[in-house]
Amino acid sequence: MDTSPAGLSPIERATLRFRRIYILPTRQGIGFAVALSVMLLGSINYDNALGYVLSFLLIAAALISMLHAVRNLAGIDLRWGECEPVFAGDTARFPLKVDNRGQRPRFGLLARLAGRRGRSGEANPPRRFHLDAGGLERIELAAVAPERGWFSPGAIVVATRFPFGFFRAWSRVDAGLRCLVYPRPAGEQAMPLHQPEACGEHGSRGKGDDEFSGLRDYHPGDSARRVHWKAVARGQGVPVKVFSGAASGSTWLRWQDVVAGDTEARLSQMSRWVNEAQAQRRTCVTAWCCRASRSPRTRARRTVTAASKRWLCSTARPPAMRAHPETRDWTLGRERSLWLSICLALVVIPHAGRIPFWELACFAFLAGWRVANATRGVPLPPKWLVIALSAVMLAAIYAAHGTFFGRDTGVVLLVVLTGMKLMESRSLRDAYVLSALGYFLVITNFLYSQSILTGIYMLAVVLLMTATLIGFNVGSGELDTRARLRMAAAMLMQAAPIMLVLFFLFPRLPGPLWSLPRDAHGAMSGLSERMSPGLISRLSLSDAVAFRVTFRGEAPPPSQLYWRGPVMWHTDGREWTSGNPTRSWRAQYVELHGEPVDYTITLEPHQQSRLFALEVPTTIPRGAQMTQDFQLRTPKPVRTRQRYEVRSFPEARLTRVSIDEQSAALALPAGVHPRARALADSWREAHGVDAGALVSRALAYFREQPFVYTLTPPLLENDTVDEFLFETRSGFCEHYASGFAVLMRAAGIPARIVTGYQGGELNPLGDYLIVRQRDAHAWVEVWLGERGWVRVDPTGAVSPNRIELGMDAAIPPTLGPAGLELPSRGRLWQTWRRLRLGIDAVKTGWNEWVLGYGPRRQRQLLGMFGVDSADVRGLVTGMLAGIGGLLALLALGLARRRPAPVDPALRIYRRFCRKLARAGVARRASEGPLAFAARVTAHRPQLRSAVERITGMYVALRYADSDARVSEFRRAVRAFRPR
């Protein structure tokens, strides 16, 4: 067992235990904490859900890295040996044996001696190493011996920054190391070659071991073995035997021979002589015949005595100076800069469409330079060039954007500066800055897109960046790429539960903390306050989701699904615009009929102060207002996804109209649509003032004339309505609505156009309705006296399918994924449609629980767990408790020894044994399968065949060279029922 190497006699040992390991954040850790809090603040301000997720994930990972750092040290065994004597000013090397008893490797370890060197206070150089599982490392700790005497280099410190470098865990072991330091050899005096006689009686005979040459009196300090005990017994005093030997070559070095200087100089001179004598392979004797004048420092003499004694005894040369071993690895290095460049490039790539091309090219150029430096050794630019380049770029950015603020400019700035930093980075400190910048850039991506795909992509990037971070803290070659990635993935997975606790319990503050830049949100298309020909047909090309609806009860039939949006009052003959009906709605304007419908709408941001609802809404969401024409308005544009609940009565009647409104609903610009007016006049003559008959007549006109419902109507040049009604006769809902409205107004019936959405696609996977931009629609409301405003949909007269079955039925979409043309209603199309519905269901969950998670959802979630009222304090307490609990659990899990992977056959066999144990026959751990089976059959003869069969299979699987199947064995054990 005891196999100590030469030069290492393990006199003492210590194990690094948990309670002796200390941990504190490093400078990088504090810097990263600052970066993290900025990231979190940004996420709060922009209410960016993925920003929250990333910030919390990183916080959790950083917390967990603490556990990993401690675990990386715990259980390491240290054994230290004796140090070879050195000369003052030389480096003393203390041998240390570091033994990893655990089953997992230890990375990025540093060991050094705690004492400081001389007066300069420079720390002793650390030694960097790592340990394989169960591995053993022999290292030497170096410290410069300052002066002669016994030199204590201080405690042994073993430290690690693994895995992220945010925390430094260390342990001190007071090993009581010491090293004998000889005086520094110096002096110019030549070595005297003394005659032995010169030193009185001691020199009269050469001392040796070979031949007995006489007796002399005992002096204190003589060896007991040299005492002539027989003479002692005879009462002749205490004589000591003196031996003579080959003493002729011995050199006498005497204190009084040194002429120069003070005690120290003389000691140095003697030390040098001893060295020379040894080099000439002479036996040397230092002598103290004539005592030096009482030295002020008795220690000096003791040391020299000890030194000369050692030299006399051993011919081992003092250790030669050696080059320092590798110390702390603070350089960036080739591999690390490559990793960093790749990560940063990956994080910048999604910005490609968002920031100007030349700025992206700048970044690519800078990153490319770095990569070229790492792979080809292209030199990095000098500092002045970096500064000049930065200035030029800043100027260029300012010139291009006119500001340094705002989302887009901020991102550009960040990207370009990251590129500059990447290029000028030389040390590991810069690398930490870069990785923080990298995480920052991830968040900037979330400002533009928070889709699931972005999330997944960025998760992969974060994984890579975390692996890079791990790479900063292990030496090259300690962990290969796969192991790093696996470790990063494991750490992120361990961080996930803590991240979830933080995400769900972190107190969510409504509203931004400071005003957002104007371009904080992307532009969206949708219905607006004006309707020009072609607007809705353009929208109909878009598959973008307008909103999603969850009905509380049964969904109404498709023909009732009219989602009311902007109402158009005014027309200039070509374009319709909504008026400004400021007066708000009152309950008495509505006669309620039929059953109410309750539902929740999740509205995608559309940048307008408007909510959509099913006709006719009665209870409206808080904060919204309803106008007299039943539009729901919000005080601020809808910039984020909103959820609101509405109750509507689809069969209600709108029974009031003011004089102003009536006149507005009858107005037609002068001199336009002569043919339409003529037609309306002719009807009016036929039917008089019977409004109902006029409406039917107009609808009949659409039905009877060859009107075509199409997305691609011919271009209308002059009088759009007349050309549509009498010439082209093909159009989209907006054409029909405006044509109908004009006819009605010309016939003297108040009419207005309502835009919005009609229908929607029911997603059976989530049991909700998706309303897309392609469902945009326009219809008409006419005032029929006592019946109030009545909805008339002329499109329905032309294409009933559009209303009954939805847009897809009327004009089948044929564009599949990636613009692929798919035959409509084909199987492929159906598959694509189903897939799209599935994806949308996932998206809805994502929207609701990730992106839309806010104060309201938080309350709802807490309510689900029975917590009805939770203030910020309660939330924080719960959050901290949750994190603490999870960390404790994780610490326990990490401290547990990792079990070896178990052969599936063995696992199943153990199950079999457990079954038998419950039945009363327990297998002893050292009992072989056959012996156990024999014992079982002896106790339970009725089980014989089953037990023999199972044992046979187990033996065949585990011990024999057979291709037996585990599955069969598993089935047999599953079916095995002892008792």
**Residues at the contact surface with another protein, assessed by CB under 8 A:** 1, 903, 906, 924-931, 933-934, 937, 948-949, 951-953, 955-956, 958-962
**Closest by CA position to 428, among listed 308, 305, 327:** 327
Strand 576-577 vs strand 530-531: parallel, antiparallel, or unpaired?
antiparallel
In the complex, least distance from residue 932 CB atom to another protein, rounded to whole angstroms: 10
Judged by CB, which is closer to another protein: 308, or 951?
A: 951
735 is catalytic: no
Residue with tokens 């009725």: 942
In the complex, least distance from residue 901 CB atom to another protein, rounded to whole angstroms: 12
The rounded distance, in Å, linking the Cα atoms of 977 and 836 is 48
Strand 642-648 vs strand 617-619: parallel, antiparallel, or unpaired?
antiparallel
| 809, 759 contact by CB (below 8 A) | no
Judged by CB, which is closer to another protein: 783, or 969?
A: 969
Judged by CB, which is closer to another protein: 665, or 953?
A: 953
CA distances to 516, 692, 877, 928, 945 from 914, in Å: 64, 84, 44, 15, 18
| 308, 274 contact by CB (below 8 A) | yes
Q: What angle do CA 454, 455, 461 make, to 5 degrees?
A: 90
Judged by CB, which is closer to another protein: 409, or 951?
A: 951
Q: What angle do CA 787, 788, 793 make, to 5 degrees?
A: 95
Judged by CB, which is closer to another protein: 188, or 963?
A: 963
Residue 258 tokens, joined: 């040194």
In the complex, least distance from residue 925 CB atom to another protein, rounded to whole angstroms: 3
Judged by CB, which is closer to another protein: 833, or 958?
A: 958
In the complex, least distance from residue 950 CB atom to another protein, rounded to whole angstroms: 9
Helix/strand/coil for 870 = coil
Number of H helices and number of E strands within the chain? Answer: 28, 39
Catalytic entry in 733, 735, 775, 913: 733
The rounded distance, in Å, linking the Cα atoms of 105 and 486 is 14
Residue 482 tokens, joined: 């796969």
Residue 285 DSSP one-character state: E
**Which residues does residue 563 pair with via DSSP β-bridges, in sequence order?**
614, 757
In the complex, least distance from residue 928 CB atom to another protein, rounded to whole angstroms: 4
Judged by CB, which is closer to another protein: 425, or 937?
A: 937
Judged by CB, which is closer to another protein: 700, or 902?
A: 902
Strand 632-633 vs strand 610-611: parallel, antiparallel, or unpaired?
antiparallel
Strand 136-144 vs strand 761-763: parallel, antiparallel, or unpaired?
unpaired
Sequence-ordered list of residues with C-beta below 8 angstroms from that of 554, at least 6 positions apart, any chain:
none
Specify the amino acid at residue 226. Answer: R
**Closest by CA position to 268, among listed 303, 296, 221, 219:** 303
Residue 719 tokens, joined: 């009088």
Helix/strand/coil for 617 = strand
In the complex, least distance from residue 961 CB atom to another protein, rounded to whole angstroms: 4
| 424, 430 contact by CB (below 8 A) | yes
Residue 724 DSSP one-character state: I
Judged by CB, which is closer to another protein: 771, or 908?
A: 908
Judged by CB, which is closer to another protein: 280, or 967?
A: 967
Q: What angle do CA 15, 18, 24 make, to 5 degrees?
A: 115
The rounded distance, in Å, linking the Cα atoms of 629 and 654 is 9
Judged by CB, which is closer to another protein: 475, or 904?
A: 904
The rounded distance, in Å, linking the Cα atoms of 822 and 814 is 5
The rounded distance, in Å, linking the Cα atoms of 16 and 160 is 13
In the complex, least distance from residue 972 CB atom to another protein, rounded to whole angstroms: 11
Judged by CB, which is closer to another protein: 53, or 913?
A: 913
Q: Which long-range contacts (CB under 8 A, 24 or more apart) does 697-702 make?
A: 698/740, 698/743, 698/744, 698/747, 698/794, 699/792, 699/794, 699/797, 700/797, 701/743, 702/736, 702/740, 702/794, 702/797, 702/798
Catalytic entry in 68, 130, 401, 777: 777
Catalytic entry in 408, 629, 775, 793: 793
The rounded distance, in Å, linking the Cα atoms of 304 and 708 is 116
The rounded distance, in Å, linking the Cα atoms of 394 and 413 is 8
Sequence-ordered list of residues with C-beta below 8 angstroms from that of 193, at least 6 positions apart, any chain:
251
| 769, 761 contact by CB (below 8 A) | yes
733 is catalytic: yes
CA distances to 5, 9, 81, 964 from 2, in Å: 9, 10, 13, 45
179 is catalytic: no
The rounded distance, in Å, linking the Cα atoms of 505 and 499 is 10
| 78, 14 contact by CB (below 8 A) | yes
In the complex, least distance from residue 1 CB atom to another protein, rounded to whole angstroms: 8
In the complex, least distance from residue 180 CB atom to another protein, rounded to whole angstroms: 35
In the complex, least distance from residue 912 CB atom to another protein, rounded to whole angstroms: 14
Strand 613-614 vs strand 562-568: parallel, antiparallel, or unpaired?
antiparallel
In the complex, least distance from residue 764 CB atom to another protein, rounded to whole angstroms: 51
Judged by CB, which is closer to another protein: 666, or 956?
A: 956
Q: Is the dihedral of CA 574, 575, 576, 579 positive or negative?
A: negative
Catalytic residues: 733, 777, 793
